[in-house]
Amino acid sequence: MIGASARAAAQSALRAGYRPWCIDMFADRDLREAAPVRRVPAGTYPAGILKLLQDGDVPAEAPVLFTGAMENHLDIVQAIAMQRELLTSGVEAMRAVRDPEALASMPAFEHVHPCRAWRKASLGWRLSQRWLGGKFAGLRVIKPLRSAGGKRVRLWHRGARVTGDEYLQQYIQGQPIAAVYNSDGWSARLLGVTRQIIGDAALGAEGFEYSGSIGPIELSAPQRSGLSRLGVALAQRFDLRGVFGVDAVVNADGIIWPVEVNPRYTASVEVIERGGGVAALRSDPLSPGERAGVRGLPDEEGTRIAHVRSDMVGKAYVYARQDGVVPDLTTLFDSDTVADIPDAGSPVRAGQPICTLFAGGDSESAVLTALHDQARTLYTRMQS
pLDDT over threshold 90, residue 343: yes
- Tens digit of each residue's pLDDT (9 = 90 or more) over 166-211: 888 899 999 999 999 999 988 999 999 999 999 999 999 999 999 9
Rounded CA gap, 77 and 237, in Å? 20
Please tell me the predicted confidence (pLDDT) of residue 300. Answer: 39
Mean pLDDT of the chain: 87
What number is the average pLDDT over the span 202-223? Answer: 95
Q: Determine the pLDDT at residue 129.
A: 55
Cα–Cα distance measured from residue 284 to residue 270, given in angstroms and rounded to the nearest whole number: 17
Q: How far apart are CA 176 and CA 196, in angstroms?
A: 5
Is residue 79's pLDDT more than 60?
A: yes
Residue 145 has pLDDT above 70, yes or no: yes
Who's near 32: CB < 8 A, 6+ residues apart?
none
Rounding to the nearest 10 degrees, give the CA dihedral for residues 333, 334, 335, 336: -110
Per-residue pLDDT band at 132 (split at 50, 70, 90): low
Residue 206, Cβ neighbours under 10 Å: how many? 15
Q: Around 340, how many Cα atoms within 13 Å sit in the side-chain half-sphere?
A: 23
Q: In the chain, how many H helices and how many E strands?
A: 12, 16
CA distances from 176 to 94, 102, 236, 254, 301 (A): 22, 21, 25, 12, 39
What is the model's pLDDT at position 306?
Answer: 46
Crossing angle (nearest 10°) for helices 269-276 and 7-15: 40
More confident residue, 286 or 193: 193
Q: pTM for the full model?
A: 0.89
Q: Judge whether residue 261 has pLDDT over 60.
A: yes
The confidence score (pLDDT) of residue 134 equals: 47
Position 283 confidence tier, pLDDT thresholds 50, 70, 90: low
**245-261 average pLDDT score:** 96
Is 126 a residue whose pLDDT tops 60?
A: no
By the 10 Å C-beta count (0-12 exposed, 13-18 middle, 19+ buried), 349 is classed as exposed
The more confidently predicted of residues 107 and 154 is 107
pLDDT at 44: 95
What number of residues does the chain have?
384
For residues 98 and 263, the answer to whether their CB atoms sit within 8 Å is: yes
Q: What percent of the chain shows pLDDT beyond 70? A: 88
